Structure 1
Amino acid sequence: MKGGWAEEEALAFLLHKGYRLLGRNRRTPFGEIDLLMEKDGVHVVVEVKQRSSSRFGTPLEALTPKKVERLLKSAWYLLGRDDLPVRLEAVLVHGTPQGFRLEHLALEV
């Protein structure tokens, strides 16, 4: 997995912030959820995007409205309901394993 290191860094970052891991790389008919977490009683779907440079776009540019919609549908599919509190977040990883920075943000639905 090319970006596996980025997902590991994102997971460690979120665990340090008090998130609890519920699942990883969970496939649904709508796509894959990188990290399914829980924080303060809310299910959190986390998309991890990594880019070593902005030559082909930034990690944020890869989070299209269509991708966000698929993430939300995937969350509801996994949780079995569409009325549970769910938050969509992203951890954007800029750089390589030799040097990177993380950006954590909530996604608007």
Structure 2
Amino acid sequence: MKTNNLYKGSLTTIILKLLNEHDKMYGYEITQKVKEITKGELNITEGALYPSLHKLEADGLVDVEFRKVNNRMRKYYMLTELGTQETVNKLAQLEDYIRNMRALVNPKFRTLD
């Protein structure tokens, strides 16, 4: 999708929201869920996903858990309490951004006080 750049600033919010909805997920599962939800319109690459996940972990917003699946270790990510709080904050910021962009591009969404 040519508008993937529009999503770059929202990647952290996307990851936090998915982890909030699904308790715990592994990296590939996150990429596939995004693809499924957006009907293939948004494809998150490993090169974008894993640095974001590692930063979320370093910032204390996610914890990791290793599980053996089919004789291989799989790294699952889950929100910490701080991560749950940050999800609420990020979603509020995104909703404000969407509201403002809608008003900028479509006059019918403008309110004049």
Tell me the TM-score normalized by structure 1: 0.27
Is the strand fraction higher in 1 or 2? Answer: 1
Is the helix fraction higher in 1 or 2? Answer: 2
- Look at both structures and tell me which one has the larger radius of gyration over its CA atoms: 2
Tell me the TM-score normalized by structure 2: 0.26
